Structure 1
């Protein structure tokens, strides 16, 4: 188990992590989330003894990392897949790590097989793709068969098959009773992989709960309701009835209605009582990404602005009309349509 108590790290007058306390328990995949600059990497470095905390402490199995006997046999980590001597072959890189920790050479070949690099074991790592580098870094983390594993963006650069493999690997490691701590910006992947979440913002703890509880606490569920497109008067009739019953109704871009404040059976009863036919009545639960964005919107340091293209717009020729805006463009959930197919 990893335990942080009052963990604080300052660099001069900048506080990267402040009074952070949490536990990462064995037997589950714990996701570590936060915006860029929130202190995730600094926290992981302190866990691994690479940075000293200004205040507080963090332990692994009750001991600071630097006091663990033969730490590589207890803790495996992937923080930077590029931290490899490019002139070494993949097998030689792992072999040097194994020799430093008293790990038998046959284990090197085992982990190369686990990560799928056995066929390129003799190739120099400087010729590896980003995804191959990630696999080599994961192999190094698994080398000592540790009970505690830390991964920072483990699926970076991997193709869909590789991402699926990492997801199953994390779950399998946790199922064996190991402690698995994973930092990632891919919310969709965390939703499929993590059992528990620790979320920080600007160096402070924002959430420490299960994925299900996190989504429930930071999102508002709603019902999607659709009436026949050919009878817009029914849509207006139902909107009025739902509003009178205490519901909050918002139109969607595709013509459906978003209803909050009323349960699905109540919406169905109101539609029946007002003689309105329904084409759709479905529940919607927010995704992890939606819940995460809602929680961390006040803890983001870098925000984009609209591109005004000042001085780059060409003047319209005489008599020309400006282009019509695309309906829904710029609204949440809008995506640009695909370009037309050539020659088809």
Structure 2
């Protein structure tokens, strides 16, 4: 049995768990529920001696975990499926844990078969998928055949077959008289697995009840009633009769009526007295998820907001738009392609030309004045440079021919 009394844990100015008191009885699967950040993992770590409580105490079988003789043989836990050496095989990982706890090596092969990892026992665990890692973590928890088991999100990453296997495993372990403490966020799975629930919110206890009592205390049962379509007079007569009898009638989107506060036989009698035929009269019981959401809605720390999509809303296409043609042109018409014009380099601004003072020039003979500016004689064109005479090239004798020798 696990017993916590006034359990408190603070990290500086933040209190993760405050004055938590509960008992986990053997022979039952006890679900541990709460929103993210409620303190579930911190509580489990204090149960296993990994975190020291700021106040209060928690014991397993009357002893703190650190004082249990050979604790791995009495308590098995899965808190983190990644708590393994990735370079070791699954069998080597379990064999190391077995040798540290004095567990015979044959037990390693037994638990590998229980969790379905016998065929991959020699494979390195770093190549395991998330579901295979969860199976290996469960095998490590079962290694010492303990009487107390703690599991934190054991079905995370498992396929439907694996989830069903874990569910049956938990119930079988509890049927053997063991203490099974399971934390999960899957309400549908907890509804089928757990016998008892402990719910916390913001580090404080909110509920400690059997599953059925928890649902009954945090939900309202109602009946669904449906009258023939199109018969509005009969529908209104039934609504008036149900309201006069003390029932609360709420119309639903699909046309049915939600009736609260009246049992099904009474609704049937009232419909008969109002001479109204019924197409549907069915009870509705709230699920564990609905009851859980109703209880913990005020203890949720992380809430999402509506996505405004500011500036991301696209404009609807114009009427007549069809994919493959340019808007503004008739369908099937493609505008002519414009010739490609290479980009021109940017024109750099030239600095302004500063005016210079006129340079006085000597007036040549015969020069005239025009507009008050002394005229200068025209400059004769520059003569081309002299061309050097080619050097004398000595004449080469012509090649001799055989006929010349004669």
TM-score (norm 2): 0.78
Q: Deviations over 1:147-184 (max 9, x none)?
A: 00000000000000000000000000000000000000
Q: Which residue of 2 aligns with 1:195?
A: 195
Question: Aligned ranges for residues 34-73 of structure 1 at < 5 Å?
Answer: 34-73=34-73
Name the SS for the 1:83 alignment partner: coil
Q: Which residue of 1 aligns with 2:236?
A: 236
Q: Which residue of 2 aligns with 1:127?
A: 127
In structure 2, C-alpha distance between the alignment counterparts of 1:229 and 1:45, rounded to whole Å: 58
> How far does residue 318 in structure 1 lie from its aligned partner after superposition?
5.8
Q: Which residue of 2 aligns with 1:25?
A: 25
Q: Which residue of 1 aligns with 2:386?
A: none
Aligned-residue CA RMSD (Å): 1.1
Name the SS for the 1:164 alignment partner: helix
Unaligned runs of 5+ in 2: 321-406
Q: Deviations over 1:41-90 (max 9, x none)?
A: 00000000000000000000000000001100000000000111110000
Q: Deviations over 1:242-281 (max 9, x none)?
A: 1121111111222111100111111111100000001111
Question: Aligned ranges for residues 85-96 of structure 1 at < 5 Å?
Answer: 85-96=85-96
> How far does residue 317 in structure 1 lie from its aligned partner after superposition?
4.9
Name the SS for the 1:301 alignment partner: coil
Q: Deviations over 1:195-253 (max 9, x none)?
A: 00000000000000100000000000001111112423322221122112111111122
Between the two structures, name the one with larger relative contact order (CA 8 Å, sep ≥ 6): 1
Q: Which residue of 1 aligns with 2:145?
A: 145
- Give the number of aligned pairs: 320
In structure 1, C-alpha distance between the alignment counterparts of 2:252 and 2:43, rounded to whole Å: 41
For the pair shown, which has the larger CA radius of gyration, 1 or 2? 2
Unaligned runs of 5+ in 1: 321-344
> How far does residue 316 in structure 1 lie from its aligned partner after superposition?
3.6
Q: Which residue of 1 aligns with 2:223?
A: 223
> How far does residue 314 in structure 1 lie from its aligned partner after superposition?
1.8
Q: Which residue of 2 aligns with 1:274?
A: 274
Moved over 4 A (4+): 317-320
> How far does residue 319 in structure 1 lie from its aligned partner after superposition?
6.8
Q: Which residue of 2 aligns with 1:295?
A: 295
In structure 1, C-alpha distance between the alignment counterparts of 2:195 and 2:2, rounded to whole Å: 16
Question: Aligned ranges for residues 133-212 of structure 1 at < 5 Å?
Answer: 133-212=133-212
In structure 1, C-alpha distance between the alignment counterparts of 2:42 and 2:177, rounded to whole Å: 26
Question: Aligned ranges for residues 64-83 of structure 1 at < 5 Å?
Answer: 64-83=64-83
Q: Which residue of 1 aligns with 2:264?
A: 264
In structure 2, C-alpha distance between the alignment counterparts of 1:89 and 1:164, rounded to whole Å: 26
Q: Which residue of 2 aligns with 1:330?
A: none
